[in-house]
Amino acid sequence: MTYDAGSALARIAESEAGPGGLNAFLSLADADDVQPRANGPLAGAPVAVKDNISTTALPTTCGSRLLDGYQAPYEATVVRKLRDAGGVVIGKTNLDEFGMGSSTENSAFGPTLNPHDRSRVPGGSSGGSAAAIAAGYTTMALGSDTGGSVRQPASFCGVVGIKPTYGRASRYGLAAFASSLDQVGVLGRTVTDAATLLGAISGHDPHDATTADTPVPDYADDVGRGVAGMVVGVPAEYFPDALDPAIRSLLDSGLERLVEAGARLEKVSLAHTSYAIPAYYVLAPAEASSNLARYDGVRFGVRQEGSDIASMYEKTRRGFGDEVKRRIMLGTYALSAGYYDEYYGTAQRARSLIAQDFAEVFARVDVLFTPTAPTTAFSLGERTGDPLAMYMSDVFTVTANLAGIPGVSVPVGYVDGLPVGGQLLAPWWGESTMLAAAGAVEASSPGSLP
């Protein structure tokens, strides 16, 4: 495929100018920086980068006023690798502030709109990256996935989103939200696009001790491998009676297509799934409260002067948005003396049970097939006043982050004109098998972008 990053940049600049834009980008590259590059697997491909991933040529704001205009002194490993593979960074995409949200409405720079229906959210927190692909601005983008923040917006926008195994891609240069859950992910117009980008950014990094020193397969080649003989697990807990019948019908059709392609289905149970949301919303805020302590006006953050150091800290940290403040307070409480073991310790034990469930199930099946999200894209403002309802948007995705396993969302169709994604989960380092199944779903699905 031939790419023209310069044309992509011009198209974005024209479409996003003025009030009619999607607000998918927070900054765009200079035209001089997007010259075609012919070598490498990405061969000049324009790639959008979520604005919590460090770049030296563009600001890294994390969607926060505290980092407004911040210029990182170094480049994230995944950005360096995509450049080495021939990719071209065309801009930084909008996100929920510090990755905290499920709708990209928590950005300090305004929400991103869903290209399929501008009255609806694109999902989050990688909503800008997903919207950029759905709008045709680019075919590939980087995001980050802490509890579903690549896969859920991929579902809402009708694109492909991959969260790799924890440790498959470097987190060096990714602004930390919850370090034991964060993972750089990729989005693409097709499974092959996303797989190609994933292959380019994966691998061991001496700057990140959590990355694995294992060979990186040819993920793009895996996409066309087929599913003959593959065993696909269908977990009962991910198909509750309350699931929208129209979404269930599309997923059932996706399962039928996998069977027609040669796979075998097996019903399975992941008994501790109900603990996932409570455990996640203890662990993630707890880690966030620690990670975001550095934004104090001394080490990081736009300083607000005060009469003394305490008032300076207080005034500076008032710059966080409401959702970030909420999670910092929840996390600080969970880690406080007298509550640490009751909340954080219990959540870690629940996390272990969830990981054990996956290990036992993957001894019998090759992949799992589930919904990506319980609904299609909801309306702007619909859930901003109800944090619990917003958190439930990630009910089917947080388990993969808690267990560290890979997951991918693939379009499976539309309900009332809005995209629906099906999610495939695989065992640790099982991206190749997962992408083979994703390719089979995509090849027979009516849900892909036109």
Kindly state the percentage of the chain with pLDDT values over 70: 98
- Please indicate whether residue 149 is annotated as part of the active site: yes
| Catalytic residue list contains 50 | yes
- pLDDT of 31: 85
SS3 237: helix
* Residue with token string 């991103």: 112
The structural domains of the chain, with segments of one domain joined by +, span 5-233+251-267+362-443
User: What is the separation of C-alpha 59 from the centre of its chain, rounded to a whole number of angstroms?
Assistant: 20
Average pLDDT over residues 320-349: 95
Q: Which helix (H) or strand (E) holds 157?
A: helix 151-157
Are 285 and 182 a contacting pair, CB within 8 Å? Answer: no
Convert the pLDDT of each residue in 108-145 to its tens digit.
999 999 999 999 999 999 999 999 999 999 999 999 99
Of 50, 81, 92, 163, which is the active-site residue?
50
Element (H, E) at 127: helix 127-134
- The Cβ-side half-sphere exposure at 357, using a 13 Å CA radius, reads 25
The residue with tokens 């997962």 is 434
How far is it, in rounded angstroms, from Cα 25 to Cα 134? 13
Confidence of residue 449 (pLDDT cuts 50, 70, 90): low
Q: Which of 103, 144, 149, 393 is labelled catalytic? A: 149
Contacts of 412 (CB under 8 A, 6+ apart): 250, 251, 253, 254, 420, 421, 422, 441, 445, 447
Q: What CATH class does 5-233+251-267+362-443 carry?
A: alpha beta
Tell how far CA 210 is from the center of its chain. 19
Contacts of residue 215, Cβ cutoff 8 Å, sequence gap at least 6: none
Cα distance between residue 282 and residue 147, in whole Å: 12
Backbone Cα Rg of the chain: 20
The single-letter DSSP state of residue 218 is -
Diameter over CA atoms, the chain: 71
Catalytic residue among 125, 155, 289, 393: 125
Q: Region 1-6: what's the mean pLDDT?
A: 69
125 is catalytic: yes
Its pTM stands at: 0.96
Say what percent of the chain tops pLDDT 90: 91
Packing angle between helix 245-260 and helix 431-443, nearest 10 degrees?
A: 100
The residue type at 107: S
With a cut of 60, say whether residue 1 has pLDDT above it. no
